[in-house]
Structure 1
Amino acid sequence: MTRARLHGLARNPALPVEALLRLAADDRLDIEDLTTFPAAPGRRGFTDAAFDALAAHPDPQLREALARSSGATGAQRARLVGDLSIAVLHAVIEGPADRWADPLPTWAYRRLADHPEPVVRDMLTYLPGTPRDVIVALARDPHPRIADAARALLRHTPAQPATMGRDQAVSFAESTSPWNRAQAAADPELPAAWVGVLATDPEPQVRLAVSMRPGLTEEQRAAIPVEIGPELPVPAWVLAAGPDELRRCARSAHIGLRRSAACHPELPADLIAALAADTDPTVRLLLCEHQPAAPPDLLLRTHLESDDDDLLRHPTFPCTGLARLASSPEPRARALARYDDAAPAPLIDQLSHDPDPAVRAAVADDPRLPERRILELLDDPATATPAAANPQLPRPAMTALLTAAGVP
């Protein structure tokens, strides 16, 4: 349990910086212990003092992990733009894997665009997030490869789906390989006669590809027997669809087209509302995963249906009205009650005695808990880590944990 407690201490916002640096030098903790924060709505991450202390650490691998940490804000990660390690700068530009991570400020991209190393400037042309005005500046870069890459980005228009060409599409349609025939079935230049042939192909993946081609009527799609599984490809033409075509996809009887429409980067509010009421749970999940304006009530319901903890980081995940879930028969729902800022301290204390260890762990770092209860949770293996992260953990208890663990 020693490592569990030290892991919690490392992300305790009330831990003195000097103690954090002592933990960073302890072999029992790895980099993930120092830089990983659990997904939670509105959950705090690094304090500025803690981030700055780790950002000055001599280990570049720790700084690289810090640049990718979902516990850091974009403004904090931007403080690493002057790092001497190329790997750290790559991590700064790439950012956290979390879809809803706080973005870097524009000034950070502009400063990196002036970096003396071409490899750093080049990263801005293929890693996500680079603002258009920075790409415009890079199109005038003295390094030809960087300038060409930036100009290609500026010219890029996804309006037309890729094609292998008519002759190659026919060749693939004649193939004995189901994969080849499926590629042909999706190609926009496949002749209409072959579209009809592949619509009755014995392989389900081929028929599915035909059914998701652009230009078909609803009747034509419905006439193709398809098998809809949990995983479906998202056609590029749907992601690039204009308003009218996108509307047809969102209102289609074909589940695959509705799922694809849910991923569209410019889905209008009325279609978000329509897909939020879709009968297909995967449509609703994709909507939550791809739309920053997904309705809060949908996020809550989908999180409880899907067990997708990443949804807890979504910018519109509700943080009000969750206290009502404390009486739910479902442990996952009860655990969410602690994220309600208006939940009274007695309710949080009640949840810390919940029979389910996951619920107790969810509330163990809540500062509304009384000191006595935090210390009790610290001695429970199921709650030791979050209890050690509780900012109301008394300073003498922090010191005692470090001493008992032999942290130098």
Structure 2
Amino acid sequence: MTPEQIWEAATPAERRLAGVALNPAAPVDVLLRLLAGESAAVRMVLCRDRPLPGAVVDAVVDHPDRYTRSFLARNPYADPEQRARLVDDPEWFVRAHLAEAPRADDVCRPRPLPDRTVVRIIDTYENEWVGTGLLLQMSPGFRSSMATHPVAKVRSMGSGFWESLTPRVRAALLADDDPGVRESAARHQGAYERLRDPDAVREDLPAHSCHARHHLLMYGALAPDVVAGALAEDAWLIAGNATTPAAMVTVLAGHPDPEVRTRVAERADLGAAERRALAVDPDPGVRLALSVHPALSEAERAAIDYEVTQEESYGHHACGFPVPVPPDADRLRRDALSAHPLLRRRAAAAPALPADLVALLADDEDLGVRVLLCQNHPGAPAALLLRSFLEYTGRDRWHLTRHRDFPRQGLARFAADEDPAVRRLALSDAGLAPGPADRLTRDPDPRVRADAARHPGLPQGRIAELLDDEELAHRAAANPALPAATMYALLATAGERRP
């Protein structure tokens, strides 16, 4: 069964016990009794959806049910060292889930596995298990050093970043003592060189639309006849290719499709004549793309009639798995001081932004700048974090509350706000009075009701009522103010045995 099916099949009593499993105040012996129980839903929630004390992790690692162990492997709240204990699990099912990245939610994002665990996975797991999920669990330092790692299979995998490797490292991989590393390096070198050979690209180019064709037209070295052949159906793909001849770029700059012209406007090698033409393009998206071109002066940018919307190019966390490139300090400062909000947003999204620029952008007039600074910079001020949450309603809004410096006090004043997300914010304040907490359990918004049912300030009588509420019983059972005696009573009622 999938996790969704397990939860759908759970009885009301099981869901109530699953709430106890989430309760941060639950004694360890309660958690161990839940782990020893028969309910798959309870074990799933316990092992997958909360931080776990060491004694419970010990019991999970030794649990006879492979699904139970796999839930720990997928737990984004668990300490990476705890998840790493499953690296040599006897069941491939558990090991495969460890190699995958745990699911992210609006509460937390997974942390990297220990480097030694990543090495163990690369060195001992089947190749098909070592993919994107594992890349997402690597520390940046580990990714950047893979090509020179002492373990051969790690070096072999590191050769996949061929384009970013220095000539010295490439040469070392091609002459490596390990034949597998040499073979991998040669394969990646061959693919790299073939992508830069116009004749090879022509030979490899599929006639039908597919991923391979799109990749070659976007990144491969293109001969003039290939460019001409792609002009009718694939103009957008060749418009951003660095090898598209300058004469054809000029043609594409006048293409009837504004998406093609936008792609041309983003080219770093765009000529002055094309820049002048696109600066007055009838499409606002084209003008906006051109307005951030690196060749323009601040005065030239200001002369372009562009408009930046609040949804444009922000609202995303800095995440992913490319080998990190050291930031250009001069470009960061130039972008941060620009009059153009998109350039300031680009600077705000850099975690390496210097403290003086953080302070400068914290007072920026553009909401996008302020939100990106909060989403991506560990030094974002507390007042800015709260202000950004109140003003920003887009993607990843709730992640702002997970910043280490997000204020936790004084939020109770938002309990009657018209925005349900802001009312929910009030429930992050442990000092919220019992009356408002009680009222919010009846809120029209389901997320607000769910958080209110778990608020420690909720009156005991209301907690007891909610334990019989079909919607909120498992939330109320997770309330840290729930007496331990009630937890034991719920266990006894369900017949859960002692471990």
Residue 465 (structure 2) aligned to one of 376, 380, 385? 376
Once residues 254 and 64 of structure 2 are traced to their aligned partners in structure 1, the CA distance between those partners, rounded to angstroms, is 60
Q: Provide Cα deviations, 1:195-240, integer angstroms capped at 9, x if missing partner.
A: 1111111122211111111121111111111132233247x9xx97
Distance 2:328 2:412 in 1: 42
Give the Cα–Cα distance (whole angstroms) in 2 for the partners of residues 170 and 96 of structure 1: 45
- Provide, for residues 122-141 of structure 1, a one-character-per-residue CA deviation record: whole Å limited to 9, x for no partner: 66884353343465355455
Comparing 107-116 with 300-309, greater Cα deviation is found at: 107-116
Residue-by-residue CA offset, 1:20-43 (whole Å, 9 max, x unaligned): 4536425xx795796346xxxxxx
Q: Distance in 2 between matches of 1:124 and 1:7?
A: 28
Equivalent residue, structure 2, for 1:258: 344
Alignment of 1:261-280 (within 5 A): 261-280=347-366
- For the pair 1:35 / 2:42, whether they are aligned, the reply is no
Instruction: Give the structure 2 partner of residue 200 of structure 1.
Output: 280
Give a deviation string over 1:166-201, Cα, whole Å, max 9, x none: 515334324222211111111011211111111111
User: What is the CA–CA distance in structure 2 between the aligned matches of 1:90 and 1:206, rounded to whole Å?
Assistant: 44
Comparing 180-189 with 161-170, which one deviates more in the overlay? 161-170
**Preserved contact between residue 335 and residue 343 of structure 2 (Cα < 8 Å):** yes
Answering whether residue 454 of structure 2 is matched by residue 365 of structure 1, we say: yes
- The AA in structure 1 aligned to 2:73 is A
Taking the aligned partners of 1:134 and 1:362, their CA distance within structure 2 comes to 38
Query: Is the partner of 1:354 in helix, strand or coil?
Result: helix
Partner Cα separation in structure 2 for residue 59 and residue 24 of structure 1: 12
Distance of 1:17 and 1:125 partners within structure 2: 30
1:148 partnered with 2:159? yes
Q: What is the aligned partner in structure 1 of residue 367 from structure 2?
A: 281
SS at match of 1:5: helix
1:19 aligns with 2:34: yes
**d(CA) in 1 for partners of 2:117, 2:132:** 13
| AA aligned opposite 1:211 | S
Tell me how far 1:263 sits from its aligned partner.
1.2
Mark the runs of 5 or more structure 2 residues left unpaired by the alignment: 1-10, 168-218, 220-239, 319-324
Distance 1:336 1:66 in 2: 29
Greater RCO, CA 8 A, separation 6+:
1
Let me know the Cα RMSD of the aligned residues. Answer: 4.0
Shift of 1:292: 2.1
- Which of 383, 388, 394 aligns to 1:302? It is 388
User: How many residues of Structure 1 are paired with residues of Structure 2 in the alignment?
Assistant: 387
Specify the alignment match of 1:322 in structure 2.
Answer: 410
Specify the structure having the higher radius of gyration (Cα).
2
Is 1:291 aligned with 2:345? no
1: CA distance, partners of 2:122 / 2:358: 36
| Alignment map for 1:8-407 (pairs within 5 Å) | 8-13=19-24, 14=26, 15-22=30-37, 24-26=39-41, 35-36=48-49, 45-54=51-60, 63-64=69-70, 66-83=72-89, 84-85=91-92, 88-89=95-96, 91-92=98-99, 94-97=101-104, 100-115=109-124, 117-119=126-128, 126-127=135-136, 129-133=138-142, 136-137=145-146, 139=148, 141-143=151-153, 145-149=156-160, 152=163, 154-155=165-166, 164-165=242-243, 167=245, 169-233=249-313, 242-306=328-392, 308-319=397-408, 321-322=409-410, 325=413, 329=417, 336=425, 339-340=428-429, 343=431, 348-354=433-439, 357=442, 361-367=450-456, 371-380=460-469, 383-395=472-484, 397-398=486-487, 400-401=489-490
Q: Give the drift of 1:108.
A: 2.8
Letter in 2 for 1:283: V
TM-score of the superposed pair, with normalisation by structure 2: 0.64
SS at structure 1 position matched to 2:438: coil
Contact 1:278-1:284 within 8 A present in 2 as well: yes
Alpha-carbon distance in 2 for matches of 1:102, 1:9 = 25
* Preserved CA contact (<8 Å) 1:173 1:198: yes
Whether contact under 8 Å (2:87, 2:98) holds in the other structure is no
Where does structure 1 lack aligned partners over 5 or more consecutive residues? 38-44
Alpha carbons 2:336, 2:347 under 8 Å: kept: yes
Check 1:95–1:379 CA distance in 2 against 1; reply closer, same or farther (3 A cut): closer
CA–CA distance in 2 between the matches of 1:175 and 1:340?
55
Q: Helix, strand or coil: the match of 2:463? A: helix
CA distance in 2, matches of 1:213, 1:60: 54
2:296 match: secondary structure: coil
Give the Å deviation of 1:107: 3.6
Q: TM-score, normalised by structure 1?
A: 0.77
Amino acid corresponding to residue 389 of structure 1 in structure 2: A
Q: 1:201 to 1:369 in 2, by over 3 A?
A: closer
Q: 1:212·1:257 contact (CA, 8 Å) conserved in 2? A: yes
Aligned counterpart in structure 2 of residue 5 of structure 1, from 16, 21, 24: 16
Question: Which letter does structure 1 place at the counterpart of 2:117?
Answer: A
Deviation at 1:259, TM superposition (A): 1.8
